[in-house]
């Protein structure tokens, strides 16, 4: 079993930067696919970014490409999402996820992940 706990959300202004973290416990995430998703009120959960099982490849949703960066620190067993040039449409609850055996073609599918954090609210507003 893996427990994921997000932190770092908050209220920022358009154009600002914000980093969120996801600390894992229970087992090491090395070898697991790791991802961030987000969900705005009334909308489906949206893929944001993912790290392949090896950690060697990153993938991003079209709406965040070039602005967001996913990374992980295996020593701290933590996943990070650095968000730059934030826009009001980035407002959502951000969730981290981890999964065993997630193949590349399934990285953007929330159903492919085994474990989820509780979410952290990010609000972008002036």
pLDDT in tens, 40-99: 999 999 999 999 988 889 999 999 999 999 999 989 999 999 999 999 999 999 999 999
pLDDT class for 1, splitting at 50, 70, 90? confident
pLDDT given at position 37? 98
* Angle at CA of residue 83, ends 82 and 87, nearest 5°: 175
CB 38 within 8 A of CB 46: yes
CB 46 within 8 A of CB 61: yes
pLDDT in tens, 15-37: 999 999 999 999 899 889 999 99
Q: How far apart are CA 75 and CA 39, in angstroms?
A: 29
CB 35 within 8 A of CB 49: yes
CB 33 within 8 A of CB 102: yes
User: Which CA distances in Å does 66 have to 6, 49, 76?
Assistant: 23, 11, 26
């Amino acid at each position: 079993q893996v427990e994921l706990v997000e932190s770092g959300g908050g209220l920022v202004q358009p154009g600002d930067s914000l980093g969120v973290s996801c600390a894992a416990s229970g087992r090491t995430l090395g070898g697991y696919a790791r991802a961030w998703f987000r969900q705005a009120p009334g909308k489906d959960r949206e893929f944001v970014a993912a790290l392949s099982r090896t950690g060697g490849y990153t993938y991003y949703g079209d709406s965040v490409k070039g602005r967001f960066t996913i990374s992980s620190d295996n020593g701290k067993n933590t996943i990070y999402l650095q968000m730059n040039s934030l826009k009001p449409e980035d407002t959502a609850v951000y969730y981290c996820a981890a999964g065993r055996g997630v193949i590349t073609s399934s990285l953007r599918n929330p159903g492919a992940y085994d474990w989820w954090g509780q979410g952290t609210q990010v609000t972008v507003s002036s």
